[in-house]
Amino acid sequence: MSAARIEFEVPATVASLDEVQDRFGAWWDTLGVDDLRLRFGLETAVAEIAANIVEHTRRADREAGRRYTVELDATDDELVAVLRDNGLPADVDLAAVTMADVDQESGRGLALAIAALDRLEHRHEGGHNVWTLACTR
């Protein structure tokens, strides 16, 4: 594993969101990238997708022991985050995502992630929801 790539697993709980952000910050600090637009975009999207994983588990799945893995990688061309969870398959149509109305309390996460990234993909494979988030350098 190169210094530009890390991977870690956390429980699908609200408490994990702080750990994900802390680890993202520590990873980012090793990159030597000064582009705040890239950092803000990827960090926002990682936080939103992680929150969606936790929320989906809490609302729809409710099975104890759900976990998710976060992989962060920097290549010459892009910064990539891959989040994998072992929850129920999520039925996601990214092409249909719109921003929630101002008076709604939720429904902005995917729209924010799409706006912040150059690429957002979701698939279900091998019993995992797999989210790929990328910002072009």
Strand order in the sheet with 78-85: 5-11, 67-74, 78-85, 128-136, 119-125
Domains of the chain, start order: 5-136 (3.30.565.10)
Q: Mean pLDDT, to the nearest integer, of 101-119? A: 72
Least confident of 2-16, 40-54, 108-122: 108-122
Predicted local confidence at residue 93, as pLDDT? 59
Q: Mean pLDDT, to the nearest integer, of 75-88? A: 90
Q: 43: which residues sit within 8 A by CB, 6+ positions away? A: 21, 24, 25, 28
pLDDT 10s digits, 15-74 = 999 999 999 999 999 999 999 999 999 999 999 999 989 987 776 666 667 899 999 999
Q: Mean pLDDT, to the nearest integer, of 98-105? A: 54
- Contact call for residues 132 and 56 (beta carbons, < 8 A): no
User: Residue 6: beta bridge partners?
Assistant: 72
